[in-house]
Structures are given as structure tokens and as C-alpha cells.
Amino acid sequence: MMRARGIVIALALAGCSSDASEDAKEKAAAANIEAVVAQNEAQAAAIGLPRGGTPSPAKAAKTLPPAFLGRWGITPADCDFSRSDTKGLVTVFADKLSFYESTAKVASLTPVSQYKVVADLDYTGEGQAWRKRTTLELVTAGTALLRTEQSPAATFRYERC
């Protein structure tokens, strides 16, 4: 992160063109994402979630990238371990999403970018089963997760716990 800041400062002092400035911003954002991924893996290990790592080729089509893993809440109260009513909490594992009253296993996964994937999720909960196509996207340098569902269309914004 410090190295990325140094690049941005050096480019600003040198009076570089806007193209160089945009490149520096992209490098700084990428460095921030790398820091968030490392933090995610540390938090996941602390609460017993599996580590992200690089999936094997056989599992790659059904494995979410490490940057997505961890606990995400719609409200700050959803991230409180002492509460039992965390209805806005989603815990993202490599192969599934766990909600308050349901679980969604990854049936297929299509990467759009390193920060966005489209997944077909097989849900089970409350005695029912269903499938939804869902887009997961990391925003604000990996500190927020957007979950957009199709049929019916709905978008949920989560903050990292």
C-alpha cells in the first residue's frame, strides 16, 4: 500500500500526463484490493472459514475468488457475533453462500473480471429448493459487496464485517 502511495506521489510531483495518473490510480486500487484479500484470509482463518488460495482446475468453475470470502453485513448489527438475529448477514465460502435461513451452493461460475462474477446458485432453506442467477461484485476497493439477483431483480449491498 505504501509503495502504491509512493507511485502516486511521484507521478503527481513529476507532472505526468492524465494517462499516467490513471495508471497510478489503477495500481493503487489493485494494491488496496491485495491488502483487503490478505485481511479477508486472516479474518476467515480467525473464525474457522476455509482459506481462499488458488483453486484446482477441476474446481475452478465452482470456486469463488478469495477476495469475496468472509462475512458481510447489510447493517453493522449483522456483523455482531453476539446477536442471533443477523438476518442481513451473508458468509461467503469458496463454494457457497450462507444466509440467515438458507444456503446457496455454487452450481456454476463465470468470472467477468477479478472483482465481478456471475453465478448460478442452488438455494435450500425452510424446506424448499430453488436456483437463481446472481452477480457478485466487489466495490469501494473491496470493502463492499453487491449481490444482484435476476428473476425477480433485486440488489443487496453488504459491508465487510
Same domain, 27 and 64: no
Same domain, 10 and 75: no
Same domain, 39 and 65: no
Same domain, 9 and 66: no
pLDDT in the model for residue 33: 55
Same domain, 97 and 28: no
Please give the chain's pLDDT, 161 residues, in tens: 333 333 333 333 344 444 555 555 555 555 555 554 555 555 545 444 444 444 444 344 689 999 999 999 999 999 998 988 899 999 999 999 999 999 999 999 999 998 999 999 999 999 999 999 999 999 988 899 999 999 889 999 999 99
Same domain, 96 and 66: yes
Task: Confirm whether 33 is domain-assigned.
Answer: yes
Same domain, 92 and 32: no
pLDDT in the model for residue 24: 56
Report strand pairing: 89-92 vs 70-73. antiparallel
Same domain, 146 and 108: yes
Task: Confirm whether 22 is domain-assigned.
Answer: yes
Which 3-state string (H, E, C) describes 37-94? HHHHHHHHHHCCCCCCCCCCCCCHHHCCCHHHCEEEECCHHHHCCCCCCCCCEEEECC
Could you give the CA distance from residue 93 to residue 52 in angstroms, rounded to a whole number?
Answer: 8
Could you give the CA distance from residue 71 to residue 87 in angstroms, rounded to a whole number?
Answer: 13
Task: Confirm whether 51 is domain-assigned.
Answer: no
CATH number at residue 98: 2.40.128
Same domain, 69 and 129: yes
CB atoms within 10 A of CB 78: 20
Task: Confirm whether 53 is domain-assigned.
Answer: no
**Residue with grid cell 453493522, as numbered in its chain:** 76
pLDDT in the model for residue 1: 38
Domains in the chain, number: 2
- Which residues span the domain enclosing 40? 2-46
Same domain, 24 and 70: no
Task: Confirm whether 106 is domain-assigned.
Answer: yes
Same domain, 97 and 30: no
Same domain, 64 and 103: yes
